[in-house]
Structure 1
Amino acid sequence: MKEIVFAFLIALLLAVVSPLTHAEEDEYYNAHTIRASDYPKNPPGFEQFPAIGRFNGRVMAPDVRSHPRSRLFRTMIGIGAKQAPNFAGHYTIVRWGCGSGCVSLAIVDANTGKVFHPASLHEVDNENVDYDELIKPDGALIKYRLDSRLLIVVGGINENSALRGISYFEWRNNTLRRIRFVHRPFE
């Protein structure tokens, strides 16, 4: 009896987490879906925006008093900031869920502990983004590298349809500046 129950639970789990079939994809995705084909032909590359500054080897505790928004998410920022830098030489991008298919973030300077919440990028959602893009090794909603100041975002930003698409940001002087944008509105 235990084997039957176990087999049933496994089958149920696989049914719940299995990717969409092609027929289901056709029903779910539409003309407004963000797909791989929406990437520009000559996008900005990570190599074009090398990191400035280096990590000094000691991760500083995040100063959650350095930005009012930090106090709201101090636990997640504290946990994430303990990791080694992962962006622009000495910064750590800390992410946490803000709902189904939504990610909030902060950028923490590992050398100083200062926390940044760029107004241009509080949240990212993956609503109507091609599932195949999300499961590739580099198919995250937010793409970045330790050796680069380039940040690539796929999806909706800050719940604003005018900001939905593929965004390329440059991190300079503790500010994110959009340098390229492929708009993919819902309508």
Structure 2
Amino acid sequence: MAVEKKVRSPARKPGLWSALLLTLAAAGAASAASADSPKMADYPATPVAGTLQTIDMNSDPDAGMFKTRLGYLIGEPANFAGDNVLTFWGCGTGCQMLAMVNLPTGKVTVFSEELIASNGYCYRADSRLLMVNPLEEYMEPEDAYYFKTGFYLWDGSQFKLLAETAPVHPDGPCDIGE
């Protein structure tokens, strides 16, 4: 009696095809999100000359908790929306917190809950657009399933959410803080 050995071809392995289709769909979604995402150049700002000379620690109730970190900004030029200096720091695993100091006034704004990130920020001195959780150069969209990229517009007094997409790479060079 002959025994017939059944061999499954790779085409019949549901796991392999599912993974391939999922990868292609994620890459396509990221490309679409990237093409439709707000662009830094669409929200221009004119960078001011000079560097940060003073910080008003009384302008935000949380500023005192981050006095040392904010103090490192003295002497820095504007790096966001023309006349602001952004900085961020870690607040745990996969957590970054953002603060902004206005160059002319020294006014501090600590964004303790509103703009918490998992993968950092992308911003430029010549734009009012802030990307929260941009993909890093080496990352692929399917590697970043655990977060979304948010696009926020600074109107001079607050951030407004413009869009939230699958993770995307920045549309060009940007500062990522220190």
Q: Normalised by the size of structure 2, how large is the TM-score?
A: 0.63
Q: Compare the two structures and name the one with the higher strand fraction.
A: 1
CA drift at 1:120: 2.3
Q: Would the alpha carbon gap of residues 176 and 35 (structure 1) be closer, same or farther in structure 2, given more than 3 Å must change? A: farther
1:108 matched residue in structure 2: 101
Aligned mate of 1:146, from 107, 125, 129: 125
CA drift at 1:42: 1.5
CA distance in structure 1 between the aligned counterparts of 2:121 and 2:74, rounded to whole angstroms: 17
Q: Which amino acid aligns with 1:170?
A: L
The 5 A counterparts of 1:20-39 are 38=30
1:66 matched residue in structure 2: 59
Q: Would the alpha carbon gap of residues 47 and 170 (structure 1) be closer, same or farther in structure 2, given more than 3 Å must change? A: same
Q: Normalised by the size of structure 1, how large is the TM-score?
A: 0.60
CA distance in structure 1 between the aligned counterparts of 2:121 and 2:51, rounded to whole angstroms: 25
Cα deviations by residue, 1:7-30 (Å, 9 ceiling, x for unpaired): xxxxxxxxxxxxxxxxxxx9xxx9
Q: Is this contact kept in 1: 2:51–2:74, CA < 8 A?
A: no
Q: What stretches of structure 2 of length at least 5 have no aligned partner?
A: 1-18, 135-146, 168-178
CA drift at 1:49: 0.3
Report the 3-state secondary structure (helix = DSSP H, G, I; strand = E; otherwise coil) of the residue aligned with 2:36: coil
Q: Which amino acid aligns with 1:124?
A: A
2:158 pairs with 1:171: no
Q: Which amino acid aligns with 2:160?
A: R
CA drift at 1:70: 0.7
Report the 3-state secondary structure (helix = DSSP H, G, I; strand = E; otherwise coil) of the residue aligned with 2:160: strand
Cα deviations by residue, 1:34-80 (Å, 9 ceiling, x for unpaired): 9895361221111110115x525242311111000111111101113
The 5 A counterparts of 1:1-187 are 38=30, 40=33, 41-51=35-45, 54-118=47-111, 119-121=113-115, 123-126=116-119, 141-154=120-133, 164-182=147-165
Q: What stretches of structure 1 of length at least 5 have no aligned partner?
A: 1-25, 127-140, 156-163
Q: Is this contact kept in 2: 1:81–1:92, CA < 8 A?
A: no
CA distance in structure 2 between the aligned counterparts of 1:83 and 1:110, rounded to whole angstroms: 9
What is the Cα-based RMSD across aligned positions, in Å?
2.7
Q: Is this contact kept in 2: 1:167–1:181, CA < 8 A?
A: yes
Structure with bigger gyration radius: 2
Q: Is this contact kept in 2: 1:81–1:108, CA < 8 A?
A: no
Report the 3-state secondary structure (helix = DSSP H, G, I; strand = E; otherwise coil) of the residue aligned with 1:107: strand
CA distance in structure 2 between the aligned counterparts of 1:180 and 1:101, rounded to whole angstroms: 21
Q: Which amino acid aligns with 1:152?
A: M
- Runs of 4 or more, structure 1, over 6 Å off, are none
